[in-house]
Amino acid sequence: MSSFVLTGARILGTEKTDIVITDGVVTEVAPGADAPGATRIDADGLVALPGLVDLHTHLREPGREDAETVESGSRAAALGGYTAVCAMANTDPVADTAGVVEQVYRLGRDAGLVHVQPIGAVTVGLAGERLAELGAMADSAAAVRIFSDDGNCVSDPRLMRRALEYVKAFDGVIAQHAEEPRLTAGAQLHEGEWSARLGLTGWPAVAEEAIIARDVLLAEHVGARLHICHVSTAGSVEILRWAKARGIRVTAEVTPHHLLLTDALAESYDPVFKVNPPLRTDADVAALRAALAEGVVDVVATDHAPHTVEDKECEWPYARPGMLGLQTALPVVLDTMFEPGSAGAVDLAPGRLDWDGLAERMSRRPARIAGLAEHGRDPAPGAPANLTLVDPAARVTVEPGELASGSRNTPYSGRTLPGRVVATFLAGTPTVLDGKAQQ
């Protein structure tokens, strides 16, 4: 029997209390709570959050273990405060069969640092031509519920309709990478002032918005669940607002980097800032922040995309798009969205979040979308002990060499961000203590 007492923690920032964890479950939450023989952890001043859940992680294994493995990505996730991550299907081989998703699932279980929930491909080989065996993946040991061709858009409207309809049989959701490929051929950077200045082919906002508009109508038509990956434009927000007001079953995610960074950073031609969808404008950033606070955009997802030095230290057009995110997501969200000292939603300034709002968007809602019942639950008696302790007063300067990922492609190198994950518990076992991974 293992037990821990977290002393002096503030649950969601409001109550200072003691938390007892016994055999993977939160058994008591009260000032002075204790358990015989328990390991005591000083959590004075730390905020206890439900363990973070990422709907959008690239772990690269199988196929590109030189960039990331399930284990190294899991370690980065735990250090970032995550207890569950959904692993995207664009591996090599593609996770488009029960065999591959079960392999990823087992690798995650063996690493034991976070719950790794595989995402299955929508189409065979991400080719966008015929449906993968979605049911076999759903029925596998991995129990896949999210399907995505991320990296590619399911651009054929008829195939997208079929996919949305088919996964209704097992309450699945299609997570769409919204990008009309004919409008983004050769695209390198958000189409606008900076693409014009830098001579880089533009990725127009309308290429994302057109697909989202089409797909929410398809989802409405067939009564299916749709999730939009990495929303990046103000126009997309408006379409989502309209769709939600109509009652369409659509959810959406925004990445931390789209909440903070803009296309002007491409001026350096440093491909660390190259990502898909591309960094957008100040106006888009403002719209995304407001939409996340309002709930039009449901969750924060990292789109953690590790790449080797060779894939990034080159000419911009040749560099692979993507950036690391797992270890910096919470600090970036704290930096861009959090209002310190807020006691509740009624006190919040527009466009800002308190701890509860943050937990909703980084833990509870993503867990609900992914169907992960053991995650996204507040530290309360009876809940699985998947939780994270955060020091909100800390400020940490990002040093790429100190990140746990197998890659170094962080856009935040040298940037000082608020908040530090002090401890993470997965099913009652500490995966991170004193800011250090335990395996």
Partner 1 sequence: MITHLLSAADLDRATATLVLDTATEMATVAGREVKKLPTLRGRTVVNLFYEDSTRTRTSFEVAAKRLSADVINFSAKGSSVSKGESLKDTALTLQAMGADAVVIRHSASGAPHRLARWVDGSVVNAGDGTHEHPTQALLDAYTMRSRLGTLEGLRVAIVGDVLHSRVARSNVLLLATLGAKVTLVSPPTLLPVGVGCWPCAVGYDLDAVLADVDVVMMLRVQRERMNDSYFPSAREYARRYGLDVARAGRLPEHAIVMHPGPMNRGMEIAPEVADSARATIVEQVANGVSVRMAVLYLLLGGKS
Q: Supply the residues annotated as catalytic.
A: 303
| Spatial CA neighbour of 205 closest among 185, 188, 230, 183 | 183
How far apart are the C-alpha atoms of 55 and 367, rounded to whole Å?
8
Is 149 annotated for ligand binding?
no
Stretch that binds partner 1, among 80-88, 118-126, 142-150, 193-201 (CB under 8 A): 193-201
Count of alpha carbons within 13 angstroms of residue 295, beta-carbon side: 9
How far apart are the C-alpha atoms of 280 and 265, rounded to whole Å?
10
Q: What is the dihedral of CA 108, 110, 113, 114, to 10 degrees?
A: 30
Is 221 annotated for ligand binding?
no
Binding to partner 1 by residue 191, rule CB under 8 A? yes
Query: Which residue from 192, 392, 400, 435 is in contact with partner 1, where contact means CB under 8 A?
Result: 192
365's tokens: 């809602």
Query: Which residue from 3, 57, 148, 195 is in contact with partner 1, where contact means CB under 8 A?
Result: 195
Binding to partner 1 by residue 201, rule CB under 8 A? yes
Binding to partner 1 by residue 204, rule CB under 8 A? yes
Is 139 annotated for ligand binding?
no
How far apart are the C-alpha atoms of 77 and 84, rounded to whole Å?
8
Are the CB atoms for 114 and 419 separated by under 8 Å? Answer: no
Shortest distance in whole angstroms from residue 88 CB to partner 1: 27
Radius of gyration of the chain (CA): 21
123 or 233: whose CB is closer to partner 1?
Answer: 233
Residue with tokens 């000419």: 315
Binding to partner 1 by residue 401, rule CB under 8 A? no
Shortest distance in whole angstroms from residue 272 CB to partner 1: 12
Binding to partner 1 by residue 67, rule CB under 8 A? no
Are the CB atoms for 351 and 293 separated by under 8 Å? Answer: yes
Query: Which residue from 33, 159, 198, 290 is in contact with partner 1, where contact means CB under 8 A?
Result: 198
Is 230 annotated for ligand binding?
yes
Shortest distance in whole angstroms from residue 268 CB to partner 1: 7
**Interface with partner 1 in residues 161-190 (CB under 8 A):** 188
Is 59 annotated for ligand binding?
yes
How far apart are the C-alpha atoms of 159 and 152, rounded to whole Å?
14
Shortest distance in whole angstroms from residue 200 CB to partner 1: 5
Length of the chain as a residue count = 439
Give the binding-site size for partner 1 (rule: CB under 8 A).
24
Residue with tokens 């488009």: 96
Is 190 annotated for ligand binding?
no
Binding to partner 1 by residue 202, rule CB under 8 A? yes
Helices (H), 2-94: 70-79
- Sequence-distant (≥ 6) Cβ neighbours of residue 188 within 8 angstroms: 195, 200, 201, 202, 203, 274, 278, 316, 317
Helices (H), 223-353: 234-245, 256-260, 282-294, 309-312, 329-337
Query: Which residue from 141, 196, 283, 380 is in contact with partner 1, where contact means CB under 8 A?
Result: 196
Binding to partner 1 by residue 310, rule CB under 8 A? yes
**Interface with partner 1 in residues 260-289 (CB under 8 A):** 268-270
Residues that bind partner 1 (CB under 8 A): 188, 191-202, 204, 268-270, 310, 313-318
- Annotated binding residues for substrate, as ranges? 58-60, 90, 276, 307, 321-322
- Annotated binding residues, as ranges? 56, 58-60, 90, 150, 177, 230, 276, 303, 307, 321-322
